[in-house]
Amino acid sequence: MSSEISTNSGSLRQWHVFVLVALFSSAVGVVMVRPDSPALLVLLVAICGSVAVVGLGIYRTVWPLATREFRERTEMVGSRTRAALDQKKTLILRSIKELEFDRAMGKVSTSDFEELSSRLRARAIELMKQLDIDTPNYYDLIERELAERLVKTDQGVDPGLLEARQVCDECGAGNDIDARFCKSCGLHLHSQD
């Protein structure tokens, strides 16, 4: 299996290969053994599936250690992910400072210092790039979409929604049909029956 297939974010993923291997090995095992009882058949298939799951676990553990091209990707989901990345960045920068201090004290050899320093700096740069990604502010997106829909409604695009709104006599703001008070100025709305 090539590294392009296993790390590509396309259609074929690592676990797909292990599922296919498990299915193939189960089929081969059933054909070769020809079990008499259903319990033996289920046990054989469960063993093949378990071996595939263990193989996937071992692969995912060893792959980052064996390759230099491995990069951990984190999509910005929300503030918790950003906080976790920020904490990782702080810890890595602190590790770089400690490594520099240990080098100055003579506790770390030059070759070890250069190797560790380059790895830590590359990881810190990667985290900083991830932190530079703008996270979507969902509250602002919702407000903007709502404003666009209200503008379309006021322009007569959707007259059914326009009838289902109350207009404040004081400020002219559109309110829901069941609102008792204006959402803009707070004035008591008269029901339009």
For position 183, what pLDDT does the model report?
81
Q: Is the pLDDT of residue 135 over 80?
A: no
For position 121, what pLDDT does the model report?
92
Q: Is the pLDDT of residue 17 over 70?
A: yes
Q: Is residue 103 part of a domain?
A: yes
- Pairwise CA distance, residues 113 & 76, whole Å: 32
Instruction: Indicate the pLDDT class of residue 8, thresholds 50, 70 and 90.
Output: very low
Q: Is residue 25 part of a domain?
A: yes
Quickly list H helices, the chain.
3-7, 14-33, 38-66, 79-104, 110-132, 138-154, 159-163
* Number of structural domains the chain divides into: 3
Mark whether 16 and 61 lie in a shared domain.
yes
Mark whether 192 and 143 lie in a shared domain.
yes
Q: Is the pLDDT of residue 190 over 80?
A: no
Q: Is the pLDDT of residue 154 over 90?
A: no
First to last CA, the chain: 72
Span 23-50, average pLDDT: 87
For position 6, what pLDDT does the model report?
44
Q: Which residues contact 55 (CB under 8 A, 6 or more apart)?
A: 18, 21
Q: Is the pLDDT of residue 95 over 90?
A: yes
Mark whether 157 and 184 lie in a shared domain.
yes
For position 193, what pLDDT does the model report?
44
Which of 121-130, 146-155, 169-178 holds the top average pLDDT?
Answer: 121-130
Q: Is the pLDDT of residue 71 over 90?
A: no
For position 92, what pLDDT does the model report?
93
Q: Is the pLDDT of residue 161 over 60?
A: no
Structural domain harbouring 38:
3-66
Work out the mean pLDDT of the chain and round it to a whole number. Answer: 78
